[in-house]
């Protein structure tokens, strides 16, 4: 007989076992790649199921804030979700994810941004959001670029802050992430141009620009400068809907999202909605939201494009991926 155990908030002494478990499942050094997630400061946001004296299932959550035209939205980044192979088939993933959701709502988090698209997340009510685009960058007018170092972090953050929709980053925390030399668990390099930067990883031996900062034309000049410096013929660049590139085409997000608290979401973004729709429109939105499930409202808020302000713009991961 299989005894189902309950998920619990993890403890500091669980960190080595969680790193070992997730590294084995994802075949990557998870402690190196995600120093903020697997930190003592974040341990109260991690949820585990323990069997035989060790974590066998875990949900990694890292609370962050997103600035949407100056309005702050509390998000929970979800990653490193895994179960030891000897303990699968017991519904541990669902149980742990549901507990993580409950704890996150108590922390006033509005939305989960999940680095994955598997069935566990769709059954949970997470969807693929709209509003993301890709751009193929080829050679052309460029500027001189150089690889950025840790001494450039303040400049990089200054350029990043010019984006209207972005994660809010603490300087010291960002320094820890940048120093890993990794983004999205892959080796990454950041290049500085005249008034912009780009961050590049390789997928299937093809360069992908997964983060940028600065004015659009300067970003493109820096991207072309990277092509000239690296000898690559082209690169794929992920951009938001505000990027002015003429050749951008819709693309999928790297993971899925779920608005876990409609109440928190509308409260935190009331100013954004009042800037984009009339007051009576916002009240109507609140009334309609009461008739929707979390999954229905998530789909409405993150994919609807026939109403002003929708889909609600959210940033791509970049350095904030977990």
pLDDT at 281: 86
pLDDT at position 105 is 98
Check residue 213 and give its pLDDT: 97
Q: What is the pLDDT of residue 3?
A: 56
Pair 44, 62: CB distance under 8 Å? no
pLDDT of residue 301: 96
Q: What is the pLDDT of residue 4?
A: 65
pLDDT of residue 233: 96
* Ordered structural domains, the chain, with CATH: 8-130+254-320 (3.40.630.30), 132-250 (3.40.630.30)
The phi, psi pair for 52, rounded to 5°, reads 55, 35
Distance, CA of 86 to CA of 67 (rounded, Å) = 41
pLDDT score for 112: 98
- For residue 247, the model assigns a pLDDT of 82
Question: What 3-state DSSP class applies to 49?
Answer: strand
The pTM for the full model equals 0.95
HSE of 163, CA atoms in CB hemisphere, 13 A: 30
Residue ranges of the chain with per-residue pLDDT less than 70? 1-4
Buried b (16+ CB within 10 A) or exposed e, 110-120: bbbbbbebeeb
């Amino acid at each position: 007989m299989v005894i189902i155990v309950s998920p619990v908030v993890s403890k500091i002494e669980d960190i080595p076992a969680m790193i070992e478990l997730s590294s084995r499942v994802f075949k990557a050094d998870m402690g190196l790649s995600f120093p903020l997630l697997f930190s003592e400061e974040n341990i109260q946001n991690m949820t585990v199921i323990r069997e035989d004296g060790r974590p066998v299932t875990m949900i990694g959550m890292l609370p962050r804030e997103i600035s949407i035209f100056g309005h702050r939205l509390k998000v929970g980044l979800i990653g490193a979700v895994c179960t030891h192979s000897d303990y699968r088939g017991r519904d541990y993933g669902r149980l742990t994810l549901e507990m993580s959701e409950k704890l996150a709502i108590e922390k006033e988090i509005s939305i989960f941004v999940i680095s994955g698209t598997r069935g566990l997340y769709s059954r949970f009510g997470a969807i693929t959001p709209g509003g993301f685009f890709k751009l193929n960058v080829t050679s052309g007018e460029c500027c001189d670029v150089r690889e950025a170092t840790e001494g450039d972090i303040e400049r990089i953050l200054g350029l990043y802050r010019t984006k209207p929709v972005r994660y809010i980053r603490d300087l010291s925390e960002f320094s820890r992430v940048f120093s890993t030399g990794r983004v999205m668990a892959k080796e990454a390099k950041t290049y500085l141009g005249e008034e912009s930067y780009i961050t590049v990883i390789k997928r299937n031996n093809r360069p992908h620009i997964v983060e940028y900062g600065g004015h659009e034309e300067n970003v493109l000049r820096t991207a072309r400068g990277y092509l000239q410096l690296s000898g690559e013929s082209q690169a794929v660049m992920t951009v938001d809907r505000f990027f002015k590139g003429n050749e951008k085409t819709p693309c999928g997000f790297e993971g899925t999202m779920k608005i876990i608290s409609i109440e928190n979401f509308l409260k935190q973004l009331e100013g954004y909605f009042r800037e984009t729709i009339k007051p009576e429109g916002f009240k109507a939105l609140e009334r309609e939201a009461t008739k929707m499930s979390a999954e229905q409202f998530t789909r409405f808020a993150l994919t609807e494009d026939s109403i002003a302000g929708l889909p609600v713009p959210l940033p791509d991961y970049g350095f904030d991926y977990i």
